[in-house]
């Protein structure tokens, strides 16, 4: 996990033994509290991929993360929080990193949501990402086979 920000800390990815949401939640809570206090937006981008590609996607995204970006994983996705907050900037970040992942042969679908526009808490923004799967992205997850299907948008 890499984080460089107002806290004055620079945690190397090598120092982190876990990179899941539970291990990252305390840092994200501090970032969102700071953003809430000073009226600054934060964007969350999620890159869904097949479970076998999650670690490779995490390595690629964390290696190219910019200062102040926080990267973590869940079972079938890599997530990134960035201290930028318009939907347009989140879309640009998502497109840039999706292109990098595709160059490395990793197939992903991305979603993004912006704090506080799409949610007032970390869980609220993550719920907005979950809603975007069903409504905006046409994305269906099949947990039984550890794979995913992209539904064609009409």
Identify the weakest region by mean pLDDT among 52-61, 66-75, 125-134.
125-134
| Nearest of 104, 105, 101, 103 to residue 45 by alpha carbon | 101
- Tell me what pLDDT residue 15 has: 34
Does residue 12 have a pLDDT over 70? no
Residues near 101 by Cβ (< 8 Å), separated by ≥ 6?
47, 49, 57, 60, 61, 107, 108
Q: How far, in Å, CA of 47 to CA of 108, rounded?
A: 6
Who wins on pLDDT, 135 or 8?
A: 135
Q: Are 79 and 142 in contact (CB under 8 A)?
A: no
Q: Which of 57-61, 64-68, 76-80 has the lowest average pLDDT? A: 64-68
User: Is residue 22 pLDDT above 50, yes or no?
Assistant: yes
The span from the CA of 77 to the CA of 48, in Å, is: 4
Please state, in angstroms and as integers, the Cα–Cα distance from residue 33 to each residue in 39, 59, 86, 144, following that order. 10, 27, 18, 37
**Could you give the residue ranges of the DSSP H alpha helices within the chain?**
21-38, 54-64, 87-103, 122-135
Please say if the pLDDT value at position 36 is more than 80. Answer: yes
Would you state the pLDDT for residue 98? 92
* Mean pLDDT of the chain, nearest integer: 75
- Domain 3-149, CATH 1.10.3720.10 — does that match? no
Residue 59 banded pLDDT, cuts 50, 70, 90: very high
Q: How far apart are the first and last CA of the chain?
A: 38
Domain ranges of the chain: 3-149
């Amino acid at each position: 996990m890499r984080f460089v920000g107002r806290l004055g800390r620079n945690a190397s990815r090598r120092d982190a033994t876990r990179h899941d949401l539970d291990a990252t939640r305390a840092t994200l809570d501090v970032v969102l509290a700071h953003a809430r206090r000073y009226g600054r937006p934060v964007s969350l981008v999620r890159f869904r991929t097949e479970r076998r590609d999650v670690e490779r996607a995490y390595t690629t995204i964390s290696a190219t993360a910019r200062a102040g970006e926080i990267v973590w994983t869940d079972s079938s996705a890599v997530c990134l929080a960035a201290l930028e907050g318009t939907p347009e900037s989140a879309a640009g970040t998502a497109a840039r990193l999706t292109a990098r992942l595709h160059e490395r042969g990793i197939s992903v679908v991305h979603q993004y949501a912006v704090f506080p526009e799409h949610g007032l808490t970390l869980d609220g923004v993550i719920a907005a990402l979950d809603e975007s799967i069903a409504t905006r992205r046409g994305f269906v997850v099949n947990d039984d086979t550890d794979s995913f299907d992209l539904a064609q948008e009409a």
